[in-house]
Amino acid sequence: MSDAPAPDSPQTTPVVEEAKLDDLMLAMDVVDTLRHDQRLVEKELVAGYSDEALIERLRELYQGQGIKVSDEVLAEGVKALREKRFTYAGSAEGLGRTLALMWIDRSRLGKFLLIGLLAISGAWAANYYFVTRPQQIAQMQAREEISETLPKALKSAYDEILGEAKVDQAKTYAARLLADGNTALAHNDVEAARKAASDLQSFLKELRAEFTLKIVNRPGEASGVWRKPEINPQGRNDYLIVEAVASDGRVMPRAIKSEETGVTSTVTKWGVRVSRDVYQRVLADKRQDGIISENVVGEKRRGELDVDYKMPVLGGTITKW
């Protein structure tokens, strides 16, 4: 008889395990009930109720549902709630968690990264082609101008002026412009060197200019005007209206400084101040038949700077009347 197994021994362990599992499930249900019944939890915990008070409230809740739960299970559930045993807590913030989240969201982040890279590349390309590259080209052009283009332009214009000039005044002025240009080249001042070269070209053009200064004599246009000076209302200034006529009949624009305003303007007609006698003589000439017989005031020859006046003038000019 001693070797025979006890009749109830095979069922003992499963019953115990099943009871423990049921108690655990009930404890988890208690915690879940407490977590979902926010009003109950907040009221009881904030008020500082004891575990016994919570157990009593839970017993009433389960009894109302027809569920019988032992005090041990209710106590275990309250304890687990306070210890947050059955509550999931996310992992703490850190580099590992951040990298993991980035890996999970890599597809969306990749799109943003691609857009960012494209934007940076576009900004770099725009800056290069619209800012950096033009600056580089301008710097290369400036270096080329300083070393080759401008020195040749300055010397060429100066040599041509020397070949055209018939008066020492023109040669002296050209030498000064050349010196200004060479000084600018020595200081790598491309803008000043360009200006000197441009001034030499303009001076050369002026030297080559040829025209006859004639009194305007056309229907509906004045051949002369007179003014009262602001500083001397009792006085009178007389002017003949003239124009520069080239050998082919073209009227040449000229830069004229007004003695009334001090402003230099490029005009095709201007007034030359003359004496009252000269003015009256021209006026009488025109009144005879409407034509001014002696209409040449002066002549500008090639290679010279000044007009050779055929009529006596007083030197003042005006550009408006």
What is the chain's pLDDT, residue by residue, as a tens digit (321 residues)? Answer: 445 444 444 444 444 444 455 666 666 676 666 556 545 555 555 455 567 777 787 778 778 777 777 878 778 777 776 666 545 555 556 677 677 766 777 777 777 788 888 889 888 888 878 888 787 788 788 888 898 999 999 999 999 999 999 999 999 999 999 999 999 999 999 999 999 999 999 999 999 999 999 999 999 999 999 999 888 888 899 999 999 999 999 999 999 999 999 999 999 999 999 999 999 999 999 999 999 999 999 999 999 999 999 999 998 999 999
3-state secondary structure 98-165: HHHHHHHCHHHHHHHHHHHHHHHHHHHHHHHHHHHHHHHHHHHHHHHHHHHHHHHHHHHHHHHHHHHC
Phi, psi at residue 318, to the nearest 5°? -135, 155
The pLDDT, as a whole number, for residue 268 is 97
Contacts of 254 (CB under 8 A, 6+ apart): 244, 266, 267, 268, 270
The pLDDT, as a whole number, for residue 4 is 47
d(CA 288, CA 13): 151
Copy the structure tokens of residue 274: 């003359």
d(CA 151, CA 92): 74
Contacts of 269 (CB under 8 A, 6+ apart): 216, 241, 242, 243
The pLDDT, as a whole number, for residue 48 is 54
The pLDDT, as a whole number, for residue 312 is 96
Q: How many CB atoms lie within 10 A of CB 150?
A: 22
d(CA 256, CA 269): 9
d(CA 80, CA 166): 117
The pLDDT, as a whole number, for residue 110 is 78
Domain ranges across the chain: 11-83, 108-208, 211-318
The pLDDT, as a whole number, for residue 276 is 96
The pLDDT, as a whole number, for residue 129 is 80
The pLDDT, as a whole number, for residue 17 is 46
Name the pTM for this structure.
0.57
The pLDDT, as a whole number, for residue 19 is 45
